[in-house]
Amino acid sequence: MAKEPGRGKSSSGRGQRDLKVKVKTARGRRASSTRWLQRQLNDPYVKRAQAEGYRGRAAFKILELDDRFRFLVPGARVVDLGCAPGGWCQVAAARVNALGERSGQRGRVLGVDLQEVDPVPGAEIHQHDFMEDGADDRVKDWLGGPADVVMSDMAASSSGHKQTDHLRIVALCEAAAELAFDVLEDGGTFVAKVLAGGAESGLQTLLKQRFDNVANVKPPASRADSSEKFVVATGFRGRKDPEEDT
């Protein structure tokens, strides 16, 4: 099982040199690909993910968000939308005690993705489109009841146009939120990635109508040059129509 960060020895220390890997642009490879490869090879979170057994650096984003908001508690039932490659499922399975390796309540983790995902110990993975009609009922059937947490690290395929990509990921996040409204238990939590750009204001309004608290966070593991941020909505109020309160 992957270790949680902070429990092992640091890879840096006094007297050690901070060595960076330089990558030459090979014939036939774009300069942008070379820059991406060089960034990956020198990214400390990539190195930690490899050392600690996580499937990608994104695992540290959900770890850092949970360290702050504490929603992945033992016994929690978790739905991970767009779960490939499985790093968030790994973190959730460990923290909700899905394998029953610690005393106390045993949680459940359900991963859903359009593509096939390699098995994750402690998680149940389904290849399915969560935007299909009836997906909410299938999710609750697979989970054996409502969820305590719905989370999403999904991003639409890049078009190369910043505003288009922003609109696409906001649309994905809104679709994930709509499913969360149907499957969450009262008091539940919704966590999702968005890109800053302005169009997310409607999503923010919608979440504030359904949850007690809505926070926008950029965890340390999120690259500084990325426009991504995460919305963490806690205290789900249920399916009550917000217009009933007016």
CB 77 within 8 A of CB 146: yes
Q: Is the pLDDT of residue 206 over 80?
A: yes
Q: Which of 161, 151, 136, 32 is nearest to 81 (CA)?
A: 151
Say whether 193 is catalytic.
yes
Number of domains the chain contains: 2
- Looking at the structure, do residues 29 and 129 belong to the same domain, yes or no? no
153 is in an annotated binding site: yes
36 is in an annotated binding site: no
- pLDDT value at residue 195: 80
- Looking at the structure, do residues 36 and 90 belong to the same domain, yes or no? no
- Looking at the structure, do residues 213 and 143 belong to the same domain, yes or no? yes
Quote the domain boundaries for residue 27. Answer: 22-52
With respect to residue 5, please indicate whether it lies within any of the assigned structural domains.
no
Read off the CATH number of the domain in which 200 is found: 3.40.50.150
- Whole-prediction pTM: 0.80
- pLDDT value at residue 17: 38
Predicted confidence band of residue 216 (pLDDT cuts 50, 70, 90): very high
Predicted confidence band of residue 19 (pLDDT cuts 50, 70, 90): very low
With respect to residue 9, please indicate whether it lies within any of the assigned structural domains.
no
Predicted confidence band of residue 167 (pLDDT cuts 50, 70, 90): confident
- Looking at the structure, do residues 37 and 76 belong to the same domain, yes or no? no
Q: Which residues pair with 112 in a beta bridge?
A: 81, 126
Which member of 193, 218, 229, 240 is catalytic? 193
86 is in an annotated binding site: yes
CB 154 within 8 A of CB 169: yes
CB 123 within 8 A of CB 93: yes
- Looking at the structure, do residues 47 and 134 belong to the same domain, yes or no? no
CB 123 within 8 A of CB 111: yes
Mean pLDDT for 3-13 is: 39
113 is in an annotated binding site: yes
Q: Is the pLDDT of residue 202 over 70?
A: yes
Mean pLDDT for 11-37 is: 46
